Amino acid sequence: MNFAVLVFPGSNCDIDMYKAIEDTIGQPVDYVWHTDGDLSKYDCILVPGGFSYGDYLRCGAIAQFTNVMKAVVKAAEEGKYILGICNGFQVLTEARLLPGALLRNNGMKFRCHQTLLRVENNNTAFTRDYAEGELIEIPIAHGEGNYYCDEATLKELQENNQIVFRYEAGNNPNGSLDDIAGISNKAGNVVGMMPHPERAVHEILGSADGKKMFTSILSAWREKHDAAAIR
């Protein structure tokens, strides 16, 4: 399975993401620069955290216009797996691959600490190795992680089971609507989340609870491809 880690000017979690793939599932992984418009060889595209284009205008607002994001939109339509973490989540909402927006944290402060998340939907390619309702410890590091969408969109997210992660009750660090920490698109192949699973893949980092996201992606992909090979 081939992984791409996108790199924009200002990305700063690209190396962590690359290492997380190497360390957890040992699959081929490349950095792909923002000017590159061809993602055809990749099965999963990882949009890492950071401060793309210095967070000018809004976080993720400029990255959406790059060649590589045009290729991401195409890859999403083809059903490939796309995972955006933190700034990557912001980029995916700006590119309209995920609904809603990430506003300034309600306390107006950059928050950087462990959070307790509940796996609300383990029926996705990104979370299948977790139990439904499992509590996991994953760090956050953001100034604009306050998820917001209109009422109709929230209802749709709830009804379609698109809320993948919530901050555990009483632990919402940023004012996110409905305690939302991560969502998927309707088809389930695009996920965005503010917490950083790639920073939680070894006990020495404080938690290894992020590992199962990467093992999930690989096992979902293998299952799909084995099934295709049998047909």
- Chain positions contacting ligand GLN, by CB under 6 A: 49-51, 55, 59, 86-87, 141-145
Closer to ligand GLN at the Cβ: 129 or 144?
A: 144
Closer to ligand GLN at the Cβ: 129 or 174?
A: 174
Q: Is 142 a catalytic residue?
A: no
CB of 51 to ligand GLN, least distance (A): 4
Six-digit token pair at 21? 């793939």
Q: How far apart are CA 149 and CA 176, in angstroms?
A: 10
Q: How far apart are CA 75 and CA 40, in angstroms?
A: 8
The single residue of 13, 44, 86, 149 carrying the catalytic annotation is: 86
**CB contact set of 26 (below 8 Å; sequence gap of 6+):** none
Six-digit token pair at 219? 């096992």
CB of 5 to ligand GLN, least distance (A): 13
Q: Is 22 a catalytic residue?
A: no
Q: How far apart are CA 140 and CA 115, in angstroms?
A: 7
**If 0-12 CB within 10 Å is exposed, 13-18 middle and 19+ buried, where does residue 119 land?**
buried
Closer to ligand GLN at the Cβ: 145 or 210?
A: 145
Task: Check: CB of residue 35 under 8 Å from CB of residue 67.
Answer: yes
Amino acid in the structure at residue 52: S
Three-class DSSP category at 159: helix
Q: Is 149 a catalytic residue?
A: no
CB of 52 to ligand GLN, least distance (A): 8
* Residue whose CB is nearest to ligand GLN in the complex, by number: 49
Residue 77's CB is within 10 A of a number of other CB atoms, namely 11
CB of 159 to ligand GLN, least distance (A): 28
Closer to ligand GLN at the Cβ: 33 or 110?
A: 110
Which residues are known catalytic residues? 86, 196, 198
